[in-house]
Structure 1
Amino acid sequence: MHLLPALCVFWLLALALALEEDSPLDCVPRRSVPYHRNNAHLFHEKGVFNYSTMLLREDLDLLLLGAREAVYALDLNDISKKLASVKWEVTQKQNDDCKNKGKDPETECKNYIRILHQTQDNRMYVCGTNAFEPECDYMSYADGNLTLEKRREDGKGKCPFDPFQRYASIMVENSLYSATSMNFLGSEPVLMRSSSVAIRTEFKSSWLNEPNFVSMAQMPESYMSEAGDDDKVYLFFSETAVECDCYNKLVVSRVARVCKGDLGGQRTLQKKWTSFLKARMDCPVLESQLPYIIQDTYRSCDPQQPWKDCLFYAIFTPQLDTSDLSAVCAYRVSDISRVFAEGKYKTPVPVETSFVKWVMYSGDVPVPRPGACINNAARKMGINQSLHLPDRTLQFIKDRPLMDQAIQPIGEKPVLVRKGATFTRILVNQVQAADGEKYRVMFIGTEEGTLLKAVNYDGEMFIIEEVQIFQPPEPIKILKFSNVTGQLYAGSDYGAAQIPLATCGRSSSCLDCVLARDPYCGWDKAVGKCLVLSNSQRELIQSVKEGNASLCPHADPVKPMNISIWPGGNLKLHCPSSSTLAKTSWKRDGSPLTPSTRHQLLQDALLILNATDTDGGRYRCLSVELSKAGEYTTTVAEYQVSVASAESKDGRLIFPQAQMDGPSVAGLQAIVGLLLVSFLALLAWNFYKGHLPLPWNCRKKNREQSKETPEKGGLNTTVTYQDALRPALAEDKPLVSGTSNGSNNHHTGGEAAFSAPGEENDGPKVLLPSLQYIDDESEI
């Protein structure tokens, strides 16, 4: 009976291993760049944290950076230069009130800048959590100064109360679209438009059920629309699934959208969205049983293509800590729009067990279609705005905002899956390569403060490099890109960083430049450098799809380095490889070197232990890297190792001679001489001050003490050197007392006073010097 479950478990383990083997988890960065201050321009101000809100003002050459209780205006070309700043701190009363509500006064009861958008009159709209009392204000930049206008507005529904709660916002024609919570407890989630006509979602679990908001984006779907459609605002979030018939809560990823011209209903859904629809988003990762959760999105559009060809790139992470995988899925805007425009709805159905089950709605759909924007068809029916929609349509969308069909990614699989640091933010930039094609390069921030640069070449996941941006490692919380400077801007709790898109200078050879498969870079044969394509007028060598480096000219031979080692010594020969995808091998005198206990092959070196005469020769380190075009081998390092002889012809041993001349030896001699002079001066000073007695004074003092001792009597008597010898005749090393006379192996001790038991404190005392061991019988 117990054999069948055991076989099932064994089969499941085998299946899991097979999936693991077939999975693309070996997608590691070709180059890993450790932290260095030259990796990026950094900005950080002491005592200020949480640099997680950014606004690019390319018209002013500024990066507006929102942090905790401060907003900074930084030079867009070099953000390490602060041009202006303004403080927005909470008052003591606000801090006390926040503390009385049970919040931490040092972290939560501060003003975290969360909203930072440009208005049509070139001012900035800024909102902060303000010690759990969110407020908004207008800010201007003029004459090198940032100024808050102090026109404080209520920030409820615009800015989150909790500084650590996820939110989303976007400014469209001076109307702020925000997704956050309306109350202190965070129990009233809302998608709201703040304008002359404020519109928000219903407080129903079928609309928003414990959501975690991610991001928002606008799509100009009215542009050249044959149907006379309206622009849309998309909201990406995750929430607890109401349609799931399961015992535990299941979190799913969603995309919702509303129409820009929505004014709410006349009677039903007054001042509520009449166009709010939502659908599930899937990102299948290795046949995972639990859906992955969306964390961030980026809208990528080609300016020369219509909006339907735009893509949404989204990063996903597992909802349980059982996996350390992260994924990127890409979605077509046209696919999302089609689900909302043509898809079936889900409807709640009560069942006998007293809970609601959501199933696909198969009844009649009202006209105009529930959730649709006002278009030409509606206008022909005399419906020119949402206020004219019939109650039947409005009641339908009020009860059924969820679509039945899930939105699938392009190819129904991720464009990138990686095992390691969790993805946090994503940004996509489109670049034209030397082959004339355009490629979308993904820049992905992680929880460890690194930035990944990756491309998907016709289904092949390829990570060009991973760069450590922040040290100590801090999660990247925001990513922005400037078309003017061609730079990336990242923010974390620690600070902000400015990173270039192209880092061609990290490749020092043609082979390395081409195998990097970076669409931004190519090898210039004329100057012998890896350059940015847009900065060169000549044709550069590049092969991004295949990594074909056969067009590269032959590299100059590596100059061997002469190294000597003595018999029995250890030697480490370094072999730094520019690629983590390459495998290194060693040759000695042209023959492959076999690893052994004395020849250990490390990742970037060869270790020779306990060298013998046979270890001499020419060592070459070879780097072998495989690409789709073939296998490429290059010599990274070369060493001429000689083992010095330890014996001469006449049989006498020869040892290495110390260097007796040269600048290093002269310097060492000077240091030793200086230390000796300093020691003698210090010794003389101590003798002069009396801290150390002179030798002749010690002998004189001993003779004086010997003369004075017999003259003194009574119980208060000092025991002399000779008296202390009497009770120790039978011992080899008797205990003695006395003052040091300068002989070796003696320790000087002070006198100690002893009182007999029962005596009073003012009674006679015997003063005994400290006892010492005699190591030499001649002293007795």
Structure 2
Amino acid sequence: MTRTLTRAEENCRYQPTFFLMSLLNMPTTCFMTVIWWLTTDSTRSQTAIPNGHGGVDAVLGVSNASVLLLDPSSETLYLGARGSILVLHTSNLTWKHPAIEWEATEDERKDCRHKDKTEDDCYNYICLLEVLKDGRIYVCGSYAYNPQCAFIDPVTFSLVKEGGDQGKGKCPYDPRQPHTAVTADGVLYTASPSNFLGTQFDITRATGQQVRMDQSINWLSDPVFVSSALVRESPGDDDKIYFFFTENAREYDLYTEVRVTRVARVCKGDVGGSKTLQKRWTSFLKAQLVCQDRDSGQRYTVLTHAYPLEHRLGDPSSTHFYALFTSQWKGERVSAVCVYSLADVTKVFATGGFRDMKGNCVNRVSSVSVLEPRPGQCRGQGYNTSLEIPDRVLQFAKEHPLLTDTVDAAPLLVRRGTTYTRITATNISNSDAALLHLGTDQGELHSVSIVGRTATLLQEIPLTTSVQPVNNILIHQGHVVVGSPSSLSRVPVEGCRVYPSCQVCARAAGLGCVWDIKKRACVAESPGQTEPEDPLKVCGTGEGRCSPVVKELRVKKGLVVLLPCDHPHLSSLPCVWERPQGCHTLQHHSHLEVTVSESSLGLYSCHCPVQGIKPCLTASYQLTMEDPSIEGRGDPGVWRSPIGVYITCVLLGALVGALGATVFLKRLCCRASQHTPLEDRNGRGANQGQQGQGPTCYENKLVVIDTPVGQSGQGVL
């Protein structure tokens, strides 16, 4: 005889499965909550908050923030994102005006999807914000793969569309494709992909008297534009617009693609030729930029960003271009900074030979003698405009845009394991010294001083709670505004007061900073004061640049340990390790990888050459054998990231779910055994980088990482 189960017994029978599914779904629910928390739109009510670095942060409440513009006439900060332009105060990053909405129409998005584009592709991604001559803000967006441009009235902060201004050549159809733009006296110059497929490219004077490239000969070969700059010239000469990009090298007769970095130049006054090159550039020339370590011969060939700096205000000849490079080899995380003087760049453009770009003869240097006036120059002998240049000269310029000479430099800075995405620079007291600000792909801001050929890391400041790359850096009134796809940060970066400790202040000695023992503060060097040979002497006998504390590391046999040794001056030359005899090690630039065995136990010391004093003891580790429990140690930095939050949710969810299921099932089954009916309500509703982190164990690999002074990332190496 079969007995019918009561409702309580049915619940007791199926609840284990229900709670198991709830338990499995809890981490997903928690993860989705974290994603919502990071991306939820709070534009209307968001206010700036202190960020712990003497500045403020603003969570934007938008996605894909990508372009930043400061209007100096109104002290207004404009930021372009997906479907909107934000208007902020520069001083505190609070909203000056409600966001200006500019979304693609539903018909445009539907048409975009019919072209086999994804839903995400078919929004309007703002790609360009520039101030024009009349004071209006020119804005362009991808507009569902149909680039459009409009104007922002800076008085009413309203969007003005005039006759459906087309954005072709100003903004790429694909919002992921790189591009660049710059204004010169209110006239816009752009470098961008110019067709739907993203296979044609143009450098254009986009407003005013329009001039563009000649497409009959490929002046560009699959370029990736990264930045552009206006450089003023001395009175009587024409100002220049420079474009920086990486492209395929057609001059090398190889079967494989070789990517090289270029700098191209056009003249601001170029209006094209009268017959040949009508409304086309007559002054376009390009040359290769080489960033190569002289000792090892290693080249850094992929340009990430470039920034111009006039070292002596009012003297354009003092301009230098600080260029950020990485390696073209996949999987290699390395960043290098090379600096090129305007004098060296100008010399190559003025005296370099020409390559023939016709047919397959790219590798051939032209045998034709250089004509007069020299092709590619802004103003010729006796010619006031490009319209007066003879056709024979313009025809030569059309077929010979590439120069044979290269602009060479050795890296000032090399960092392995760090990927820099943006660079800016400020001058120091009208001297050749500079302060670099570098953004990373992990949402950090690094400050590096450049004095002569010496680069010194001063600060590493984590800015974002989520790991997002820095895609904008803007310097304004002693502060730097750093942008990522969903947030902005504003922190002080200039002046000795930003260096909080004696050790950090000592490293900024090249910038005119000294440590005042009485005030216990970093102050500007007094006039006539001589800089000490070793600024660290005033810091006492504590842990300093050349007297690190020996860090004991307890390990177990078979682990692979990575011992960091960050060069105090970010030199391209590796540091030297003292280690036990007979141990198995592998050096990665300055870091040392050790396979733990009985013979590998002992003292490891890293010495790095430092300018002005003897080789510096930079790091020291004592390896001793320990029980296997060290493998269970986690990286405390993980728990500050979204992935760390997710892992935390998984563990807490599992624990809470298990305890809840046990208690609930126990009560439920007890009541079922007593044949007590269960109320309906009781059966419902069940549901970073190497700096600043401690020892970490990843499976069989142990990574030892220095912990800086404090948690702000402002400690010394």
TM-score, normalised by the number of residues in structure 2: 0.67
**Partner Cα separation in structure 1 for residue 466 and residue 151 of structure 2:** 34
323, 335, 338: which one pairs with 1:326?
Answer: 335
Does the 8 Å CA contact 2:292/2:298 hold for their aligned counterparts?
A: no
Aligned to 2:172: 160
**Partner Cα separation in structure 2 for residue 55 and residue 748 of structure 1:** 68
**Partner Cα separation in structure 1 for residue 101 and residue 200 of structure 2:** 30
Aligned to 2:411: 414
Secondary structure, aligned partner of 2:52: helix
Once the two structures are superposed, the pairs formed by residues 363-762 of structure 1 within 5 Å of their partners are 363-375=368-380, 377=381, 379=382, 383-409=383-409, 413-432=410-429, 439-482=433-476, 485-502=477-494, 509-511=501-503, 513-515=505-507, 517=509, 519=511, 521-531=513-523, 533=524, 547-551=534-538, 583-585=548-550, 628-629=612-613, 749=673
Does the 8 Å CA contact 1:581/1:625 hold for their aligned counterparts?
A: no
- Structure 2 residue runs without a partner (length 5+): 1-48, 557-562, 565-606, 618-666, 676-717
Once the two structures are superposed, the pairs formed by residues 74-85 of structure 1 within 5 Å of their partners are 74-85=88-99
The one-letter amino acid of 2:180's match is A
Aligned to 1:361: 366
Once the two structures are superposed, the pairs formed by residues 10-29 of structure 1 within 5 Å of their partners are none
Does the 8 Å CA contact 1:464/1:518 hold for their aligned counterparts?
A: no
- CA offsets 1:613-667 (integer angstroms, 9 cap, x no match): xxxxxxxxxxx9996457999xxxxxxxxxxxxxxxxxxxxxxxxxxxxxxxxxx
Q: Does 1:123 align with 2:131?
A: no
Q: 1:269 deviation in Å?
A: 1.1
Once the two structures are superposed, the pairs formed by residues 228-267 of structure 1 within 5 Å of their partners are 228-267=236-275
Secondary structure, aligned partner of 2:408: coil
- Report the CA distance shift for 1:419/1:201 in structure 2 as closer, same or farther (over 3 A): same
The one-letter amino acid of 1:166's match is P
Equivalences, count: 526
Q: 1:305 deviation in Å?
A: 5.5
168, 174, 195: which one pairs with 2:207?
Answer: 195
**Partner Cα separation in structure 1 for residue 160 and residue 549 of structure 2:** 63
- CA offsets 1:82-141 (integer angstroms, 9 cap, x no match): 544211111111111111111121x21111111111122222111111111111111123
Q: 1:254 deviation in Å?
A: 0.4
Secondary structure, aligned partner of 1:154: coil
Secondary structure, aligned partner of 2:403: coil
The one-letter amino acid of 1:63's match is L
Secondary structure, aligned partner of 2:104: coil
Identity across aligned pairs (percent)?
Answer: 32
Aligned to 1:3: none
Secondary structure, aligned partner of 2:397: helix
More moved, 250-259 vs 507-516: 507-516
Q: 1:204 deviation in Å?
A: 4.7
Q: 1:528 deviation in Å?
A: 2.5
The one-letter amino acid of 1:316's match is F
Q: Does 1:171 align with 2:183?
A: yes
Once the two structures are superposed, the pairs formed by residues 260-275 of structure 1 within 5 Å of their partners are 260-275=268-283
The one-letter amino acid of 2:276's match is T
- Report the CA distance shift for 1:388/1:579 in structure 2 as closer, same or farther (over 3 A): same
Once the two structures are superposed, the pairs formed by residues 65-80 of structure 1 within 5 Å of their partners are 65-80=79-94
Secondary structure, aligned partner of 1:360: coil
147, 153, 157: which one pairs with 1:134?
Answer: 147
**Partner Cα separation in structure 1 for residue 300 and residue 553 of structure 2:** 48
Q: Does 1:146 align with 2:157?
A: yes
**Partner Cα separation in structure 2 for residue 279 and residue 748 of structure 1:** 84
Q: 1:240 deviation in Å?
A: 0.8
**Partner Cα separation in structure 2 for residue 511 and residue 89 of structure 1:** 51
Q: 1:511 deviation in Å?
A: 4.9
- Report the CA distance shift for 1:84/1:521 in structure 2 as closer, same or farther (over 3 A): farther
- Report the CA distance shift for 1:580/1:185 in structure 2 as closer, same or farther (over 3 A): farther
Q: Does 1:309 align with 2:303?
A: no
**Partner Cα separation in structure 2 for residue 395 and residue 541 of structure 1:** 60
Aligned to 2:697: none
The one-letter amino acid of 1:263's match is V
Q: 1:503 deviation in Å?
A: 8.0
Question: RMSD across aligned C-alpha pairs, in angstroms?
Answer: 3.5
Q: 1:260 deviation in Å?
A: 1.0
- Report the CA distance shift for 1:550/1:84 in structure 2 as closer, same or farther (over 3 A): same
- Report the CA distance shift for 1:172/1:509 in structure 2 as closer, same or farther (over 3 A): closer
Secondary structure, aligned partner of 1:549: helix
More moved, 61-70 vs 285-294: 285-294
- Structure 1 residue runs without a partner (length 5+): 1-34, 556-576, 587-592, 604-623, 634-690, 693-739, 741-746, 752-780
Aligned to 2:301: 292
Secondary structure, aligned partner of 2:292: coil
Q: Does 1:99 align with 2:93?
A: no
**Partner Cα separation in structure 1 for residue 123 and residue 530 of structure 2:** 51
The one-letter amino acid of 2:442's match is E
- CA offsets 1:705-739 (integer angstroms, 9 cap, x no match): xxxxxxxxxxxxxxxxxxxxxxxxxxxxxxxxxxx
- Report the CA distance shift for 1:348/1:626 in structure 2 as closer, same or farther (over 3 A): closer
Aligned to 1:616: none
More moved, 419-428 vs 362-371: 362-371
Q: 1:585 deviation in Å?
A: 4.2
Q: 1:384 deviation in Å?
A: 2.5
Q: 1:60 deviation in Å?
A: 1.6
Secondary structure, aligned partner of 2:402: coil
**Partner Cα separation in structure 1 for residue 241 and residue 147 of structure 2:** 24
Aligned to 2:44: none
**Partner Cα separation in structure 2 for residue 92 and residue 596 of structure 1:** 61
Secondary structure, aligned partner of 2:344: helix
Aligned to 2:587: none
- Report the CA distance shift for 1:386/1:583 in structure 2 as closer, same or farther (over 3 A): same
Higher gyration radius (CA):
1
Q: 1:473 deviation in Å?
A: 1.4
Does the 8 Å CA contact 1:313/1:329 hold for their aligned counterparts?
A: yes
**Partner Cα separation in structure 1 for residue 397 and residue 302 of structure 2:** 26
Secondary structure, aligned partner of 1:584: coil
**Partner Cα separation in structure 2 for residue 500 and residue 135 of structure 1:** 37
**Partner Cα separation in structure 1 for residue 447 and residue 50 of structure 2:** 17
The one-letter amino acid of 1:103's match is K
**Partner Cα separation in structure 1 for residue 92 and residue 528 of structure 2:** 29
**Partner Cα separation in structure 2 for residue 583 and residue 549 of structure 1:** 13
Does the 8 Å CA contact 2:190/2:205 hold for their aligned counterparts?
A: yes
Secondary structure, aligned partner of 2:134: coil
**Partner Cα separation in structure 2 for residue 45 and residue 309 of structure 1:** 38
TM-score, normalised by the number of residues in structure 1: 0.62
325, 344, 347: which one pairs with 1:335?
Answer: 344
- CA offsets 1:540-594 (integer angstroms, 9 cap, x no match): 9995x95423346x69xxxxxxxxxxxxxxxxxxxxx9868752149xxxxxx99
Q: Does 1:55 align with 2:66?
A: no
**Partner Cα separation in structure 1 for residue 270 and residue 444 of structure 2:** 41
- Report the CA distance shift for 1:195/1:516 in structure 2 as closer, same or farther (over 3 A): closer
Does the 8 Å CA contact 1:42/1:497 hold for their aligned counterparts?
A: yes
Aligned to 1:754: none
